Amino acid sequence: RKFSEEMRQRAKRMVREAREQEPGLSVNEACKRIGGQLGIVPDTLRGWCKQADIDDGLRPGTTTAESEELKRLRRENAELRRANEILKTASAFFAAAELDRHTR
């Protein structure tokens, strides 16, 4: 199910606060506790927290912004490849037509 951005932010903030208040509390335990309170599957919440840590520079990985940019560039690259193939096909067609015109 979809959760609002506000709910995601609240849940991530609650996990961080719980871990600050209890230094020995693991991410897993915090996600189980907070997830249970908010009706969010702990694995889902753990993924959000992991990505938030990456986005905040607290752990290595691909940030959300970088991931979105990669997706955009991949789509653009695929579109350019398709356009290039169309141009190659058209060029070959017109070259063959021109050659045929000159041999008659």
pTM for the full model?
0.71
For residue 38, give the nearest of 60, 56, 13, 21 by alpha carbon: 13
- pLDDT tens-digit readout, 88-101: 999 998 888 888 88
Residue 104 has pLDDT above 80, yes or no: no
17/101 Cα distance (integer angstroms): 78
Q: Choose the weakest-confidence range: 1-5, 34-38, 53-57.
A: 1-5
Secondary structure class of 51 (helix, strand, coil): helix
pLDDT at 72: 97
Which tokens is 82 given?
């398709």
Q: Is 49 exposed, middle or buried (0-12, 13-18, 19+ CB in 10 A)?
A: buried
